Amino acid sequence: MNILERIDRRILYLVLLLAVAYPLLRPFGLSVKPGPDSKQVFRVIDELPRGSVVMVSFDYDPAAAPELDPMAVALVRLLFSKDLRIITFSQPGWELGAGQADRILRQVAVEKGKEYGTDWVNLGWRAGQSAVILPAMSEDLRRPMNGVDMYGQPLVNLKLMDQIRKLSDLQLIVGIWSGTPGFQEYISFVYEPLKIPLVGGTTAIGLPVAKPYMKAGQLAGILGGMRGAADIEVLADQPGRALTVMDAQSLGLLVILGFLVLGNIGYLVTRWRGGVKG
């Protein structure tokens, strides 16, 4: 064993921490060139007529929020600046998603001068199973919600809900998905029967999982993690949180790549000296 193979893991941890903390505090502003998947999502949203109603599904909880909040903010900003109206919802299992939606929508609505009830509505969350709730919403939005929004207001009092009585009245569903239930449920229970287009974003690790569904055309576009959020910020020309952390993200990945190389150099050196068997 040589020294390159014996670095204490705590030193690695410290190097990683310093590598991401420095650019986080002092970003150097690398430029970001949006990838094809992100452009696709942007195009789908961009082509919607003004005033269309879109459902945004907040299917994640505080644990995934550090990675997905910037994407949710970027998407909601984009939707509002295209004058689209938003209904938010969280699938069963994501009881805390409704709270995320509440916080983000409130913040962006103030920024963009949007009004609750006419420009956006938060349907909140329902217990049970997506296999039951989503088909029920396809027939009638009010009944599965027991006729009220997240805050207990009757849906009949909200102007936006006059035109939207069932899922097929929507032009698009945008999801922010971090696991199960997620896009698979929307594909099976909404896209397949109703053919309402689905776009959205997942964590970076969710992207490879979503690829087969994109290939099959069941997802019209998918953003992957923080990079996807940064792409949308560039395309919408609304720089936000994701762009500012891209420097730290790049350095973090480079450091991990460095560890990978370092470990292997150590390994090769040991093998050359004939120290251990491969």
Partner 1 sequence: MFLEEAGAQFLFMLIFVAVVYFFIQRSSAGTHVPEIRKVAGLEYIDTAIGRATEMGRPVHFTPGLFGVDAPETLASFAILGHVARESARYDARLIVSNFELPVLGINQEIVRQAYLEAGRPERFNPLDVRYMSSDQFGYAAGVAGLLHRENVGANIMVGAFAAEAMVLAESGYQAGALQVGGTTFIQSLPWFIVAADHTLIGEEIYAAGAYLSRDPVLTGTIAAQDLAKIGIIGLVILGTFLNTLGLTWLETVLSW
Partner 2 sequence: MQWRKKLPILITLAAGIFVVVSRFVKIEPLPTLSGTLDEWFLVSAAFAFVIGMANLTRLHLLKVRSRGKDWPYSLVLLVCLYGYLTLGLTVSVQGPAYEWVYRNILGALQGAMFSLLAFFTASAAYRAFRIRSAEATVLMITAAVVMVGNIPLGESIAGGNIPGLAQWILDVPNTAGARGILLGAAVGALATSVRILLGLERAHLGGPGA
Partner 3 sequence: MSFSPGLGVWIAGLLSLMVYSFLWRDNPLYRAAEHAFVGLAAAYSVVLLYHETLRPRIVDDLITAGKWQLLFPILLGVLIYASFSNRYAWLARIPIAFWLGYGAGKHLAYDPAVILTQVKDSFIKLDSINNILLFLGIIGTISYFLFTLKSQASAPVRYGRFIGKWTLMVAFGALFGQAVTSRISTLLGYLGFLFGDWLHIL
Binding site for partner 2 (CB under 8 A): 7, 9, 12-13, 15-17, 30-33, 35-37, 61-66, 129, 132, 204, 207-209, 211-212, 215, 227, 230, 246, 249-250, 252-257, 259-260, 262-264, 267-268, 278
263 near partner 1, judged by CB under 8 A: no
Among 29, 66, 208, 275, binds partner 1 (CB under 8 A): 208
Contact between 74 and 229 (Cβ < 8 Å): yes
Question: From the list partner 2, partner 1, partner 3, none, which binds 254 (C-beta under 5 to 8 Å, kind-based)?
Answer: partner 2
* From 103-111, 136-144, 146-154, 244-252, span contacting partner 3 (CB under 8 A): 244-252
> What CA–CA distance (Å, rounded) separates 158 from 140?
16
Question: From the list partner 3, partner 2, partner 1, none, which binds 190 (C-beta under 5 to 8 Å, kind-based)?
Answer: none
114 near partner 3, judged by CB under 8 A: no
208 near partner 3, judged by CB under 8 A: yes
* From 30-38, 40-48, 59-67, 72-80, span contacting partner 3 (CB under 8 A): 59-67
CB of 164 to partner 2, least distance (A): 26
3-state secondary structure the chain: CCHHHCCCHHHHHHHHHHHHHHHHHCCCCCCCCCCHHHHHHHHHHHCCCCCCEEEEEEECCCCCHHHHHHHHHHHHHHHHHCCCEEEEEECCCCCCHHHHHHHHHHHHHHHHCCCECCCEEEEEECCCCHHHHHHHHHHCCCCCCCCECCCCCEHHHCCHHHHCCCHHHCCEEEEEECCCCCHHHHHHHHHHHHCCCEEEEECCCHHHHHHHHHHCCCCCEEEEHHHHHHHHHHHCCCCCHHHHHHHHHHHHHHHHHHHHHHHHHHHHHHHHCCCCCC
Question: From the list partner 1, partner 2, partner 3, none, which binds 7 (C-beta under 5 to 8 Å, kind-based)?
Answer: partner 2
CB of 28 to partner 2, least distance (A): 10
Closest to partner 1 by CB, 42 vs 125, is: 125
Q: What contacts 237, CB < 8 A, 6 or more positions away?
A: none
> Dihedral through CA 156, CA 162, CA 164, CA 165, nearest 10?
60
- Which of 220, 205, 219, 184 shows the shortest CA–CA distance to 68? 205
Closest to partner 2 by CB, 85 vs 182, is: 182
Residue 158 in tokens: 């909200």
Among 39, 82, 112, 241, binds partner 3 (CB under 8 A): 241
Question: From the list partner 1, partner 3, partner 2, none, which binds 21 (C-beta under 5 to 8 Å, kind-based)?
Answer: partner 3
Site track for partner 1 across 75-94, x = CB under 8 A: --------------------
256 near partner 1, judged by CB under 8 A: no
Residues of this chain that interact with partner 3 (CB under 8 A) are: 10, 13, 20-21, 24-25, 64-67, 69-70, 95, 127, 131, 188, 203-208, 212, 215-216, 224-227, 241, 245, 248-249, 252-253, 256
